[in-house]
């Protein structure tokens, strides 16, 4: 993954309204899904967050990240405004996006130096 990508360098913070955080879910652009944040295990005394996507109609969990993000270095969990694509932004481990496949499953794709050009301008502007 691409690390050190300047998360929140443009003045955005993880407390901006567009970002999901514990007790502050954010609906996807279609309204069909919600990004929620569960508290993960403590890592070296630091709280961690786990990104989760739920189906708003059923409440079912459709995606749970396998990684717990330490929030010491800044974590952003936000939807792209034009599609149901969730972006995971971390100064610690890098950037990734989560997309729904045609079969209904969700898959996380990490951004690497050779794919950094795939980050939408909107996401770059908030620290991706």
Number of H helices, E strands in the chain: 1, 9
At 7-37, the pLDDT tens digits run: 444 444 445 789 999 999 999 999 999 999 9
At 78-114, the pLDDT tens digits run: 999 999 999 999 988 899 999 999 999 999 999 999 9
Number of Cβ within 10 Å of residue 74's Cβ equals: 19
pLDDT category of residue 72 using cuts at 50, 70 and 90: confident
Give the pLDDT of residue 74: 85
Residues in contact with 3: Cβ distance below 8 Å, sequence separation at least 6, in sequence order: 91, 92, 93, 94
């Amino acid at each position: 993954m691409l690390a050190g990508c300047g998360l929140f360098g443009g003045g955005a913070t993880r407390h901006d309204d567009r970002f999901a955080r514990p007790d502050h879910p954010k609906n996807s652009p279609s309204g069909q899904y919600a990004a929620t944040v569960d508290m993960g295990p403590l890592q070296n005394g630091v709280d961690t967050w786990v990104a989760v996507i739920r189906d708003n109609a059923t409440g079912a969990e459709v995606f749970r990240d396998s990684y717990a993000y330490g929030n010491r270095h800044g974590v952003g969990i936000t939807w792209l405004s034009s599609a149901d694509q969730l972006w995971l932004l971390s100064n610690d481990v890098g950037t990734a996006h989560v997309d729904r496949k045609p079969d209904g499953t969700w898959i996380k794709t990490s951004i690497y130096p050779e794919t950094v050009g795939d980050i939408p301008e909107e996401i770059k502007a908030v620290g991706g």
